[in-house]
Amino acid sequence: MHPNLSPELNAAIQAGDENRIDIKTQQRGMMFDVVTGHTKYTIVVVDPEKQEIAMVTDNPEIPGTDLWCLMGAGWGGSMMKIGFIVVGAQMRMRRLSGGLIETSPVKSFSLRDEPEEAKRIIDKAESRRPQFMTEEEEREYDAQFAEAIERIIAKEFPVDKQEWIREMIGRFGNTSTKGVVLGVLSQAQKYGRFDKAQQLLERDWKRHWYYQPPQVAGDPEFMPLNAHRWDALYRELDIPLPSQD
């Protein structure tokens, strides 16, 4: 215990260790300075359950104070420690208003006991919070998305392939990847590569996507590596991206 620090800060220190800290276990308002390479990030916990943080940095390419999702710590591959900051690992963060960053490996982090400054950072970030769909709007969107996928499957693919397509798309728990999978299969069908696409998707599911949480598995915006793998799949199939067709 550190007698000169707040109870919240002492609890944060006890919950972690000198090499890592779990954002999901911290209280709203906890503030950290994280140093990666030549960049410093000041992070304040906003919603630990959602891994939501307010963040400001001296990186000139990331101006202002904004809300981010701290996805976790990574080591340059598909492995990720969800919601953690870990010395020696890269931080992966997604801005709520759009945009993804992957930092260089963390050199160090330190806890700051400055509640007024933490509140100022949160308030500034909250003023820029993007407006999201309501739960009812999300349900309506998901239903429309599912109907659109079903129409494409019924229109573009032979009946004997449709059940497998539905099953493969259903393995992914986010709409971004569902759309990507359907795009791959549509292009493969168009260029006579469907059977090979089926084999490669089954292979990549076992190698890469099965181990990621369903809500982000395969999502090209979740981490750059996911985007690279989808691009590699198109190259392996020797078919153009839908945007290039």
Residue ranges in the chain whose pLDDT is less than 50: 2, 9, 12-13, 15-17
Q: Do 75 and 152 fall within a single domain?
A: no
Q: Do 35 and 107 fall within a single domain?
A: yes
Domain range for residue 57? Answer: 7-126
Looking at 95, 126, 157, the residue that finishes a domain is 126
224-237 pLDDT, tens digit each: 778 889 999 999 99
Dist CA 184 CA 241 (whole Å): 8
What pLDDT is attached to residue 16?
40
The domain total for the chain is: 2
Q: Do 38 and 145 fall within a single domain?
A: no
Instruction: Kindly state the tokens that stand for 159.
Output: 């009946």
Q: Give residues with Cβ within 8 angstroms of 172, minimum separation 6.
A: 178, 181, 209, 214, 217, 218
What pLDDT is attached to residue 10?
55
Looking at 97, 126, 155, the residue that finishes a domain is 126
Looking at 84, 106, 126, the residue that finishes a domain is 126
State the CB neighbour count (10 A cutoff) for residue 8. 16
Structural domain includes residue 1: no
What pLDDT is attached to residue 15?
44
Q: Do 145 and 109 fall within a single domain?
A: no
Structural domain includes residue 198: yes
Structural domain includes residue 119: yes
Helix (H) or strand (E) holding 3: none
196-213 pLDDT, tens digit each: 999 999 999 999 888 887
Q: Do 240 and 193 fall within a single domain?
A: yes
Dist CA 49 CA 23 (whole Å): 8
Q: Do 111 and 167 fall within a single domain?
A: no
Q: What is the CA radius of gyration of the chain?
A: 21
Q: Do 80 and 122 fall within a single domain?
A: yes
Q: Do 150 and 62 fall within a single domain?
A: no
Pair 209, 220: CB distance under 8 Å: no
State the CB neighbour count (10 A cutoff) for residue 51. 21
Helix axes 175-190, 194-207, angle to 10 degrees: 150
Q: Where are the alpha helices (DSSP H) in the chain?
A: 7-15, 115-126, 135-156, 159-170, 175-190, 194-207, 224-237
